Structure 1
Amino acid sequence: MRLTKFEVARVLGARAMQISEGALITIETDKSSTLDIAMEEIKKGMVPLRVKRPKIGFEE
């Protein structure tokens, strides 16, 4: 699933907060900033978070 720019921003913030609070990092990296690490995880598709979108459909 491709994320919108708004979903990326939300996931980035949530994941960076998790990392800053001591969550395990899912990739090997030499970065030290939690935002940089989280962005790299997003780019590699290794973020342990899910985005739940509302169902949009036609109701009769």
Structure 2
Amino acid sequence: MADDGDYDGYQRQDPSKRTTQPYMTKYERARILGTRALQISMNAPVMVELEGETDPLQIALKELKANKIPMIVRRFLPDGSYEDWSCNELIVSEK
């Protein structure tokens, strides 16, 4: 299956012409942490060294701080396009 960049009527935006800011929103952060914690709880490989952590949410938070979460955030834009950002590219506030 060839990927022509089309996703349910949306067109992929060229990464060099991104229009959104490189900051992870609190909503993206919550969704990423929740999704990653669920994956970890279902025995997905952990991307950081554990130092006694057993709570999947704490492990996901540690991965986020270390820029090791293997996920992509897709931001849909009003003009019918979308931008893909790797979690490693986004700046995360420490709140």
Relative to the length of structure 1, the TM-score reads: 0.86
The percentage of aligned residue pairs carrying the same residue is 39
Q: Which has the larger radius of gyration?
A: 2
Do residues 26 (structure 1) and 47 (structure 2) align? yes
Which of the numbers 5, 10, 28 marks the counterpart of 1:7? 28
Is the partner of 1:53 in helix, strand or coil?
Answer: strand
Q: How many residues are aligned here? A: 57
Unaligned segments of structure 1, at least 5 residues: none
Structure 2 residue aligned with 1:41: 63
**Deviation at 1:29?**
1.8
- Comparing both structures, which one devotes a greater share of its residues to strand? 2
The two structures, once aligned, show a CA RMSD in angstroms of: 1.1
TM-score normalised by L of structure 2 = 0.56
